[in-house]
Amino acid sequence: MRGAWPQVSPECYLGMAERTEGNTIEKDHVESAAPTKEKEKKQHQAGLGHWMARVLKECDEVSKDFAADPVHDLRVALRRCRSMADGVMAIDPDKSWKRMKRAGKPLFQALGELRDAQVMMDWVERLGDADDPVTKALRDFILGRESHLKAQSLAALEAFDKKLWSEWCIDLPRRAARIRLGSAVFKHMALERWTEARDLHNRAMRSRSQAALHQLRIGIKRFRYTVENFLPQLHEAWIDDLKAMQDVLGEVHDLDVLWATASEIKAFPDVASREYWHAQIVAERGQRVEKYKKKMVGKESLWAVWRAALPQGPQIRSAALSRLKIWSAFHDPDFQHSQRVASLAVQLFDGLVAAGVAASGDLEPRAILYAAALMHDVGRGHKEKDHHKRSGRLIRGVAPPLGWTALGLQMAGVVARYHRGALPQPSHKALAALPAEVRPTAVLLAGILRLANAFDSRRDGRVRRLEVKRKDGMVIVYAQGYSAYGPVAETVAGNRFLLERTLRQSVMVRTLAARRARRPRVSKVAAARKMAA
């Protein structure tokens, strides 16, 4: 097709305009570099509500002539909203996040293609002389393509539903505000992005291929967006380095695309011009690769600086659990009940281990039980009937957060699935999908969760403390706030069977008397002084 982009390497043009904002000067909004940085900081602190409103404002600006700066500004605002949606929708099940992303995608992509052309034109003018035939060939090709892309962007802008976006401007920022910025949950997300980007870095440093460097740029971009949107303090400290590294890799990609385009459209009239342009592009590209390596290779690299501020060791699993906990809170209509059940389940587990009835094992069943208890009612938010089955499916469908294995989360889903309803059977698909060696552990944890859930079956929090003792071949569970003649007793009696069958011991439940607060001891001398006074 006349005027179309040449067929070059896969994804060659994707994200060419995704480089950092530092590549263009926002002439309409800033006067100097210092105010730019200060304004960016204030805009970041404004949050999702600011950026969603900014989209509507920039739509009016860009419609005037689709100049480079307004196109860039609108893409920045859309990208902020879409990347925030990516982070929040991993926790919040509200469908509006996906709808918002989908609504902005056609406009974002159309503007991206236009931005690619504008960025390429900048490179052509920077590297070539005005009277150079290669420069002229590339300019003519890009200008012809740019007019078509402006028309395409205008159609996408007119199709963009501003009224619906305005409605989301009110609702979505409220939902996002439920998760505190800078929390362990977002640090955990950032660590996942750091890990992915670091792996891409290692591959790129080994191969030095165009594709590997392109993927590395995307990995650093995703890491940057997570920090940028959800970790304001770290973003303030890292913004310059993050932008610089994404910028450098973005320019490497731009140069690769420029060379591929010039070759495809046969812009070189002779061998000499081809060699001249190739030498220029290779030199510019090499400078940027070396600049990246200087900052990102070695023990003192930026990778080490960034990693030091993110969760370490046990903090990783703790942050992952916090992430699962918040995910549960968004799904569960009565999350306070689930938290109480989780506390009771852990008390019961610890008591069984201390009494020598159950072993902790190597699969960290305590953490699996606690997570399963927190998530056991996530299916309740969708429908009441068979919600335990839906809970199991939802949990098993969650991508394992860093610090958790797929097997651990799969076990948590099975445990939650059997907190009520039919007893586990070998023929059940969920249980049969587990490796044979962990099925007994999963059934034991399900029995513990089922009994713990029964203690709060009235959802009133009356039973808050459990103690376990082993006596006369029986397991005795002492429950504070429990009455053998109350409505909870019948539920408890029916739900202890799975645990009894798994332990192969009778489980008896008794009332645990509340401990009286001990009066502080007063010496005889102090008592005499008090009486004398």
pLDDT band at 525 (very low <50, low <70, confident <90, very high): low
Residue with tokens 């009016």: 60
Which residue in 67, 76, 61 sits closest to 108, CA to CA? Answer: 76
Question: Residue 479 in contact with residue 465, Cβ under 8 Å?
Answer: yes
Q: Which long-range contacts (CB under 8 A, 24 or more apart) does 263-270 make?
A: 264/6, 264/7, 264/8, 265/6, 265/137, 265/138, 265/141, 267/133, 267/134, 267/137, 267/138, 267/141, 268/134, 269/133, 269/134
Question: Residue 16 in contact with residue 257, Cβ under 8 Å?
Answer: yes
- Supply the pLDDT for residue 278: 96
| Phi and psi torsions of 384, nearest 5° | -80, -40
Question: Residue 171 in contact with residue 183, Cβ under 8 Å?
Answer: no
Query: Is pLDDT of 14 > 70?
Result: no
Output the six-digit token pair for 446.
Answer: 């399900």
Question: Residue 168 in contact with residue 56, Cβ under 8 Å?
Answer: no
Task: Indicate the average pLDDT of the chain.
Answer: 88
pLDDT band at 12 (very low <50, low <70, confident <90, very high): very low
Query: Is pLDDT of 504 > 80?
Result: yes
Quick one: three-class SS letters along 118-172?
HHHHHHHHHHCCCCCHHHHHHHHHHHHHHHHHHHHHHHHHHHCCHHHHHHHHHHH
Sequence spans of domains, the chain: 16-308, 314-512
Which of the residue ranges 102-106, 286-290, 363-367 would you say has the lowest mean pLDDT? 363-367
**Three-state secondary-structure class, residue 193:** helix
Which of the residue ranges 71-80, 151-160, 360-369 would you say has the lowest mean pLDDT? 360-369
Output the six-digit token pair for 228.
Answer: 């940028």
Query: Is pLDDT of 25 > 70?
Result: no
pTM of the predicted structure, to 2 decimals: 0.81
- H helices, E strands: number in the chain: 20, 3
d(CA 386, CA 446): 16
307: exposed, middle or buried (Cβ count in 10 Å: 0-12, 13-18, 19+): middle
Per CATH, the number for 314-512 is 1.10.3210.10
Output the six-digit token pair for 432.
Answer: 């049969």
d(CA 318, CA 262): 52
Q: What 8-state DSSP symbol labels residue 292?
A: H
Query: Is pLDDT of 133 > 90?
Result: yes
Question: Residue 108 in contact with residue 59, Cβ under 8 Å?
Answer: no
Per CATH, the number for 16-308 is 1.40.20
- Supply the pLDDT for residue 526: 60
- Supply the pLDDT for residue 241: 96
- Supply the pLDDT for residue 4: 37
Residue range 375-404, pLDDT digits in tens? 999 999 766 678 999 999 999 999 999 999
- Supply the pLDDT for residue 523: 61
**Of all residues in the chain, what percent carry a pLDDT higher than 90?**
81
Residue range 229-268, pLDDT digits in tens? 999 999 999 999 999 999 999 999 999 999 999 999 999 9
Question: Residue 295 in contact with residue 302, Cβ under 8 Å?
Answer: yes
d(CA 90, CA 188): 13
Residue range 416-474, pLDDT digits in tens? 999 999 999 999 999 999 999 999 999 999 999 999 999 999 999 999 999 999 998 89
